[in-house]
Structure 1
Amino acid sequence: MTVRLTLLCTAASTERDVRFGADAPLDERALRGVRTAVGSLPAADARCTGPSQRCKQTAQALGWDAVTVEPALRDLDLGSWQGRTPDEIATVDGIGLAVWMSDPTATPHGGESVTAACHRIATWLDSLPADAGRVLAVVEQSTARAALVHALGAPHQSFWRIDVPPLSAVHLTGRDGRWNLRMGAVFATPAGEGT
């Protein structure tokens, strides 16, 4: 049986001060954006969310009542960089930041490496039961990136080359540990038309 997984990236606060791993609550503008996505998501047999406040608020704004909080879907652990801006890190540890962005095994912050995060997400993906059916999950951007790296069999260095905007959806289908990326249409083609 094929598992159909949609990873919806959490909404982002409109706060301009971007901080590594900061789990700021969503503001009303972000929540309105979530509510516009409700009708575009497929039906699901199971719904889950990462443990962050953003993930939980996004799921709540989608109107999800029964949701499983999945610890494996947590954000990348940035250790001592948690809550700091990229500019702050560049000022105090520019070399560490450069190494971290180029070497997926590096942990200059003392937290989790990109490689470790990719392995964590790959393990979660491959542990989904064959009869899971359609699964919807609200996740952090790092989680969606790691899932794509695994699904495509891409090297971990490609993690930073994947742009995953807030409220974007990643559709994967899989079985027996093999995953495929399923791209979605921008608009529906009327029956009988198209190629």
Structure 2
Amino acid sequence: MKAQRIFTQGLVATSAAAALTVGATGIAQSAVITNAPEVISAVVLDPEGNTQVEPEALILTPADNNNAVNFITWLVWNDQIAVGTGVEQVNTCEPTCAEGVIVNKPVVIVLDGVEGVEDSDDQYFTEVRISGVDGERSLDLTTVTILPIPAAEEDEDGVVDDEANPVVDAPEEEEDAEELPEVDEDDADAVAEIAAALAKAVAETD
């Protein structure tokens, strides 16, 4: 219960801080408002320069794939902030990573730190904040892998340019969707409640 209280208090503080930030910067929500200027949602930018909106997963340790946030559901995605929930899956690596057990932890994800894309009207998120029962931490988005990897581009004749897309291979057959892993229900409820409150705070600042 102590961990649960600390978790909830920490996320409430995160929500309050985000709400203040949102209020100060005048974040526009995605709802369409008559005669309002079009709001262009921010994107996530990978090292190859590919842009994405609402990625399905974030691999936090690309070198070994032992820590990732999967099964992401985005509640808010606009030009200044994105809020979602997901399941952080961590390999305990005990006694070795090959023999480790995967631990599933529900988390709240916040993307912010918007900067402009060079020679473009686009804006991109630079920071990801992950909050859960183990506390909150921030990571530079350029240090994580964003999934799914964009499909290989084709030329006018429908031929894939291998030089432009050297690491992307089309799968031979479609894999079945993964089932959502079991997580602690109390933690999951706390995550869902705080994420919803944060999303509401963002929307109400419009």
Q: Same fold (TM over 0.5)?
A: no
Structure of higher RCO (CA pairs closer than 8 Å, 6+ residues apart): 1
- Decide which structure has greater strand share: 2
Which protein has the larger Cα radius of gyration, Structure 1 or Structure 2?
2
